[in-house]
């Protein structure tokens, strides 16, 4: 094995047997995933015409041997296997762009979640803890679900909604992703309703809003999967690749939100689209209300908006300074370290932006409820109230 790292050339020998022992757990995991795909599709190997190997690692003889052992088929190594994954990514990008492929070349690609998403609750009949699945595995993304729960005892001072990932009804066999905690000023009686809205974005970001049904007290939590922590959104890369220049991700995401567009009447029967439209209207009203006196019910939210605006602005400046340092640094190891710091800062900035976005939605909703709205939003008030009625009904 001969390779170069940080300006140093390294060479050593590795026996194939030792190499295969080292990679076998990864190979077995790949085979298990392949087996699960066939089962999830409701198919069998008898219905598969060809087992095609792609990707540079598929050149390893052990891969072909394990694939044949699993399927009973003689796998075929694709031509240019090292490039095919990149070709697939390019085709996927073209489908997302929408105006590159001609009609004959277009195809549908659907992102799905690999594991079910649920919340931990108590079964009313058995009193046992259960995992209530909200978004089942293999659901096309993005996806949103709303579910109602009730408090389990009198005098609760908070409502905790633990978010789980996994297929088992037993929460002990699932992975705890995080918790959404609604703090309550007045103790609640048993059976108080809690509405949980769960959003699963195509990039793996999970957000949960828990709201008390009787007074709209709400809490919000967002979970971004580690595997996506250094990725930037499609909007950022679209703007960057089509502009002919290097556009900062912070600039793109800051400019994305604007004046709401009309929601077609036909879409008002689609609950997910109604929720998205309401968020858009509330967000717009919230932005217009930032510099105004808020209603009494939204004073804390108004302060939070101001705090988050300052935080996102500070993080944005730090990102730009670090990007400049990264561009001017020549030593590979230093660039690598700066890249890691930059990824963490961007993740913190995007998290702050989403908290700011949620706060603006809450602020806008309260302003509409209390009828304290900027005149620029007058044309949207009736629509917002109508859609909220549709959603509550």
Q: Kindly report, residue by residue over 42-88, the tens digit of the pLDDT.
A: 889 999 999 999 988 999 999 999 999 999 999 998 888 888 888 88
The pTM is what? 0.45
pLDDT value at residue 76: 92
How high does pLDDT run on average in the chain?
79
Of 118, 61, 54, 124, the residue nearest 89 (C-alpha): 54
pLDDT category of residue 239 using cuts at 50, 70 and 90:
low
Question: Do residues 219 and 178 lie in contact, with contact meaning Cβ atoms separated by under 8 Å?
Answer: no
Which of 174-188, 227-241, 302-316 is least confident? 227-241
pLDDT category of residue 370 using cuts at 50, 70 and 90:
confident
pLDDT value at residue 147: 81
Residue appearing with tokens 């792609």: 54
Coil, helix or strand at residue 252: helix
**For the residues 199-224, what does the mean pLDDT come to?**
73
pLDDT value at residue 134: 86
pLDDT value at residue 294: 84
pLDDT value at residue 229: 42
Q: Is the pLDDT of residue 160 over 90?
A: no
Which of 31-40, 65-74, 314-323, 331-340 is least confident? 331-340
Question: Do residues 359 and 308 lie in contact, with contact meaning Cβ atoms separated by under 8 Å?
Answer: yes
Listed as own residue / partner, the contacts of 332-338 with beta carbons closer than 8 Å and 24 or more positions apart are: 332/6, 332/7, 333/6
Q: Is the pLDDT of residue 202 over 80?
A: no
Of 365, 194, 371, the residue nearest 279 (C-alpha): 365
Map out the domains of the chain as residue ranges.
Answer: 2-78, 117-228, 234-392
pLDDT value at residue 300: 86
Give the pLDDT confidence of 246-267 residue by residue, as tens digits. 555 555 444 544 556 655 655 6
Angle CA(254)–CA(258)–CA(264) in degrees, nearest 5? 140
pLDDT value at residue 206: 81
CA 202 to chain centre: 6
- Domain 117-228 has what CATH class? mainly beta
Query: Is pLDDT larger for residue 272 or for residue 311?
Result: 311
Integer Cα distance of 122 and 188 in angstroms: 17
Which of 29-33, 247-251, 294-298, 340-344 is least confident? 247-251
Give the pLDDT confidence of 80-125 residue by residue, as tens digits. 888 888 888 888 777 777 667 777 666 666 778 888 888 888 887 8
Integer Cα distance of 225 and 204 in angstroms: 6
H/E run at residue 312: helix 299-328
pLDDT value at residue 53: 92
pLDDT value at residue 226: 45
- For residue 118 the two structure tokens come to 């649920």
pLDDT value at residue 224: 57
Integer Cα distance of 72 and 53 in angstroms: 14
Query: Is pLDDT larger for residue 173 or for residue 393?
Result: 173
CA 274 to chain centre: 20
Q: Is the pLDDT of residue 220 over 70?
A: no
pLDDT value at residue 232: 55
Query: Is pLDDT larger for residue 249 or for residue 182?
Result: 182
């Amino acid at each position: 094995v001969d390779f170069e790292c940080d300006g140093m050339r390294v060479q050593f020998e590795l026996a194939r047997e030792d190499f295969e022992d080292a990679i076998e757990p990864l190979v077995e995991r790949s085979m298990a995933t392949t087996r699960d795909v066939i089962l999830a599709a409701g198919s069998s190997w008898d219905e598969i015409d060809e087992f095609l190997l792609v990707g540079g690692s598929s050149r390893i003889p052990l891969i072909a041997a394990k694939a044949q052992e699993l399927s009973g088929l003689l796998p075929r190594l694709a031509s240019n296997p090292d490039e095919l994954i990149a070709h697939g990514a390019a085709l996927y990008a073209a489908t997302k762009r929408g105006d590159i492929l001609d009609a004959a070349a277009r195809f549908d690609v659907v992102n799905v979640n690999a594991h079910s998403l649920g919340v931990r609750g108590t079964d009313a009949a058995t009193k046992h803890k259960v995992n209530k699945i909200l978004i089942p595995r293999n659901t096309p993304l993005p996806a949103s679900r709303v579910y109602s729960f009730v408090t389990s005892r009198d005098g609760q001072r908070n409502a905790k909604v633990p978010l789980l990932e996994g297929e088992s009804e037993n929460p002990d066999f699932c992975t705890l992703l995080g918790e959404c905690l609604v703090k309550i000023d007045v103790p609640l009686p048993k059976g108080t309703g809690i509405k949980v809205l769960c959003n699963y974005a195509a990039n793996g970001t999970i957000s949960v809003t828990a709201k008390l049904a009787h007074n709209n007290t709400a809490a919000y939590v967002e979970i971004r999967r580690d595997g996506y922590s250094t990725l930037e959104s499609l909007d950022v890369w679209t703007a960057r690749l089509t502009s002919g220049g290097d556009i900062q991700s912070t600039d793109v995401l800051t400019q994305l939100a604007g004046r709401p567009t009309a929601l077609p009447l036909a879409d008002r029967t689609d609950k997910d689209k109604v929720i998205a439209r309401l968020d858009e209207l509330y967000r717009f009203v919230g932005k217009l209300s930032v510099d105004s006196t808020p209603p009494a019910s939204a004073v804390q939210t108004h302060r939070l908006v101001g705090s988050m605006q300052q935080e996102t602005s500070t993080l944005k400046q730090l990102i730009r300074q670090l990007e400049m340092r990264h561009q001017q640094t020549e030593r590979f190891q230093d660039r690598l370290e700066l890249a890691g710091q930059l990824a963490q800062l961007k993740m913190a900035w995007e998290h702050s932006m989403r908290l700011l976005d949620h706060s603006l939605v809450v602020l806008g909703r309260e302003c509409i409820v209390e009828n304290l709205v900027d005149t620029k939003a007058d044309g949207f008030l009736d629509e917002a109230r109508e859609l909220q009625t549709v959603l509550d009904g």
